[in-house]
Structure 1
Amino acid sequence: MTAVDLPAVPRVLIAEADPWSRDLLTQVLLNVRCDARLDLCADGQEAMDLLSAKPYDLVIADWELPGIDGLALLRAVRQRKRNPLQPFILLSVRSDSASVREALPLAPTAYLTKPLNMEGLTQRLQGLLLDAGQEVSCEVPSLTPGTTLYSFLEHRRELADGAPLLTDVQLAVKRSLHPEGLDLRLLEEEIRTDPQVTAVLIAAANSAAQHHGDGVQTLSQALQRLGTGQSMNLILGLTLKRSARLSDPALADYAERYWGLSLHTAEYGRTLARLLDLDQERCYCAGLLHRLGDLALLRCLQEWKQAGGELDDQEEVGDALERFGAAYGSALRTRWRMPLELRELIASVYQLGGGVYSREALVMNLAGQLARLPASEGVEEVARGKTARLLKVGLPELSRLRKG
């Protein structure tokens, strides 16, 4: 089928078990056709049911789908003898010649191996969904009449895409490339200060499709588990999302403040962990992510403005942050299935729960106290506090930490 045969607004089915790969495919496709009508599913039986119920202009399916796999799905589509053939992109981790020979008789429109080449996928989608030289632009959906700021934020809490990007990730990937490919060590150095990138890679590394062994709790562990191709795709895919960066100056100023607080907490956590011979990178990660909810809320406030909503003054922004920031963070960490141990460390930045405290939880609580301390105040009160006493970290050590 050529692009000329397609309707003005194409309907596309994406069948992919891994939620992060599914989200990446969605973003790449919407970047080509922002008006596309998408149906998403995570298993082959649901995909088969959808194909029986609706006509699709394109199917994108993973071979490794649970239940009915993607190859069986393609076989069922071809048995319907549609003329011209149903466009069908088959994805797979299998790159061996035997697998390719098994798929080719079923005439997939494309057979793409994972990790995907995003540029190649984009070109395929453009050829299928656009006429030569055609571009499709979409307006930001306007607010439903009567929608208030707080009802908008309440609705977005369970759907938010997370924090805005605070580093230039495209430049970070470019700097990490060398003739042999992507250097994960260099990439980690480039992106390690960005809360959104860190959170997404950890969540993706812990997803069902990637998970094996112990849960991933640091950026370094996530990069190693995902590998170069998938890591790069996920990072670059974040740039395709709406409001990936904050363009509103007032909201960007708020984000800089929360980002600075996150970085200070992360550095204090790592330094204290090193001092006490604990897991430095885990403590750094917990500190970096502890303001993820506030940053995600700022991103949603920008979406509110882009949809035609108004923010009258800074007091309204501050009130929204106080009212929803913590809830946004909790919702994201739960929806992204962050490891419980990491979530507990993040929570300890704010307050210690009841019962027995781990030394790392005490470290993060102390790191949060130091990061929040105004520059004009000394550390004497912190040194007299319960957390410092339990850790046996005295005034001399805290004073050196503050100066460092």
Structure 2
Amino acid sequence: MTENPTTGRILVVDDDPTVAEVVAGYLLRAGYQVDRAADGHQALARAEAARPDLVVLDLMLPGLDGLEVCRRLRATAHGAALPVVMLTAKGDEADRILGLELGADDYVTKPFSPRELVLRVRSVLRRAAGAAAAPPSPGLLTAGDLVLDPQARRAHRAGRELALTLREFDLLAFLLQHPGTVFGREELMQRVWGWDFGDLSTVTVHVRRLREKIEDDPAAPALISTVWGVGYRFDPVRG
């Protein structure tokens, strides 16, 4: 992972040559190296040949769509931590939610400003670089059989390693550092994502994904509780 959020290799995946050219041009001018792919199979091949620091991924691709590309990227050895920014059509909320559930870190809705996309790319890379360059942790974060190592960025439950995305790990680490405290979605978005604006369903989806990975029964969560009308609380006493 690049340690400079204004450099690095970006893989742009879009079957519209005009969109791909414009996006690539803005990213190049912002200082990034850019690879391009016009379909899902080509995207997977490019990512395997030269691992990118981030993927800009259109959901509407011929043949292998963006959701399946995201799913397959996440299934690879290093894919869980690979940042993904999705490009979605304006009205496709269901696809955006599904993309976030598959582990995408952010999305930009078409039609979009290329400058906005560059800012979103920079924000995601800055978060990833900050995680990679974080100072050594004073110790492990634990709650029952749940153990997080912030320095190694590895998480285990009952001795089994958890496959967490960049955002999932950051969210879980934040909650473990503040047990018993209720946080609203707006505050979580600010303190975990570093965003002052955005779709709050992003937080909802990531909480749901975390529950699926750490709870005995995600439908009746004992670790990450919902405080209705307020937000979420991590309560290891109940876990």
What TM-score results when the alignment is normalised by the length of structure 1? 0.29
User: For the pair shown, which has the larger CA radius of gyration, 1 or 2?
Assistant: 1
Q: Which structure has more helix as a fraction of its residues?
A: 1
What TM-score results when the alignment is normalised by the length of structure 2? 0.47
